[in-house]
């Protein structure tokens, strides 16, 4: 079975074969030299035509890693095991979307937070804000700029959270690329139970609807809450609707 890091490496190489053929004007990375960062932030540029990270500022100070230790697949490898699959799938879906889709002059931004392993062996909660930096002459992404912020000090759930800023034309396609990452987050049976919960059914009525014992339904409900890292039914439903699991 291919691990997440190897899968991301294979994905990066596949994207490279596509993007290296794009016609684009390189930008000067020196514009980032005066980019204001606090001691909990760093930035980097991922260049998909060059197969990796090509610029960083404050990376080692924040994470402990040098640029040579920070490829797209390394970033997946440093992600907490419980967050890794979703972070990888969201990253792949969004990158695939933006290297294929010509954008208008309105910039789109992806925000995603997850648990990250620093080089000293400790985990922190990272917010990654990413947007296209270099584009080809058709408006397709060639490289992206990402700002990492350590948000460990904030009281946030131990789960991957994301948001997208884009115009109305792009935001639906952007969200669809993220929703795909959650298609197998719950089992088919768990999705059936979630949809019935959303319709206001009690555990007893869910058991009747699905020909299950009440005990089995309660077990499923506990597992569903655990997977979503939710502590209430309301939070679970918000999580499912935000991530396209239920509409």
Reported as a single tens digit per residue, the pLDDT across 49-64 is 987 899 999 999 999 9
Instruction: Record the tokens describing residue 125, joined without a space.
Output: 């909660």
Note the pLDDT of residue 103: 76
What domains are defined for the chain? 4-182 (3.30.450.20), 188-242 (1.10.10.10)
Closest CA to 136 of 102, 176, 111: 102
pLDDT tens sequence across 23-49? 999 999 999 999 999 999 999 999 999
Q: Collapse the DSSP code of 111 into the 3-class scheme (helix H, G, I; strand E, B; otherwise coil) and give the result.
A: strand
The answer to whether 7 and 33 are in contact (CB under 8 A) is no
Note the pLDDT of residue 161: 93
C-alpha dist (Å) from residue 29 to 78, 138, 149, 164, 219: 25, 21, 20, 25, 53
- Distance in angstroms (rounded) separating the CA atoms of residues 115 and 85: 12
Mark the ranges of the chain whose per-residue pLDDT is less than 70. 1-2, 104-106, 168-170
The answer to whether 131 and 107 are in contact (CB under 8 A) is yes
Closest CA to 91 of 78, 73, 104: 73
- Strand 52-57 vs strand 123-135: parallel, antiparallel, or unpaired? unpaired
Note the pLDDT of residue 1: 42
Give Cα 218 to chain centroid, integer Å: 30
- Distance in angstroms (rounded) separating the CA atoms of residues 218 and 205: 12
Note the pLDDT of residue 225: 96
Instruction: Specify the DSSP element, H or E, that contains 7.
Output: helix 4-19
- Distance in angstroms (rounded) separating the CA atoms of residues 111 and 101: 19
Q: What is the DSSP string of 180-228?
A: GGGTTSS-HHHHHHHHHHHTT--HHHHHHHHT--HHHHHHHHHHHHHHH
Note the pLDDT of residue 203: 95
Q: Collapse the DSSP code of 97 into the 3-class scheme (helix H, G, I; strand E, B; otherwise coil) and give the result.
A: helix
- Distance in angstroms (rounded) separating the CA atoms of residues 78 and 109: 22
- Distance in angstroms (rounded) separating the CA atoms of residues 86 and 228: 12
**Residue 202, φ and ψ in degrees, nearest 5:** -85, 170
Note the pLDDT of residue 106: 67
**Residue 125, φ and ψ in degrees, nearest 5:** -95, 120
């Amino acid at each position: 079975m291919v691990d997440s890091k190897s899968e991301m490496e294979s994905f990066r190489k596949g994207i490279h074969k596509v993007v290296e053929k794009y016609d684009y004007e390189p930008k000067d990375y020196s514009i980032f030299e005066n980019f204001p960062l606090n001691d909990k932030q760093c930035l980097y540029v991922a260049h998909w035509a060059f197969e990796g990270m090509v610029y960083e500022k404050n990376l080692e100070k924040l994470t402990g890693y040098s640029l040579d230790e920070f490829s797209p697949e390394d970033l997946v490898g440093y992600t907490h095991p419980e967050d890794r699959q979703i972070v990888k799938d969201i990253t792949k879906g969004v990158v695939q979307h933006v290297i294929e889709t010509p954008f208008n002059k309105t910039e789109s931004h992806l925000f995603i937070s997850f648990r990250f392993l620093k080089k000293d062996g400790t985990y922190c909660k990272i917010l990654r804000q990413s947007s296209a930096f270099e584009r080809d002459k058709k408006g397709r992404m060639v490289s992206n700029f990402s700002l990492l912020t350590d948000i460990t000090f904030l009281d946030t759930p131990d789960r991957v959270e994301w948001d997208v800023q884009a115009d109305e034309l792009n935001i639906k396609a952007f969200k669809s690329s993220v929703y795909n990452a959650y298609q197998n987050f719950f089992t088919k049976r768990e999705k059936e139970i979630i949809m019935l919960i959303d319709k206001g059914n009690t555990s007893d009525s869910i058991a009747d609807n699905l020909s299950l014992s009440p005990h089995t339904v309660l077990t499923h409900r506990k597992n569903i809450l655990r997977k979503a890292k939710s502590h209430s039914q309301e939070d679970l439903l918000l999580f499912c609707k935000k991530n396209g699991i239920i509409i």
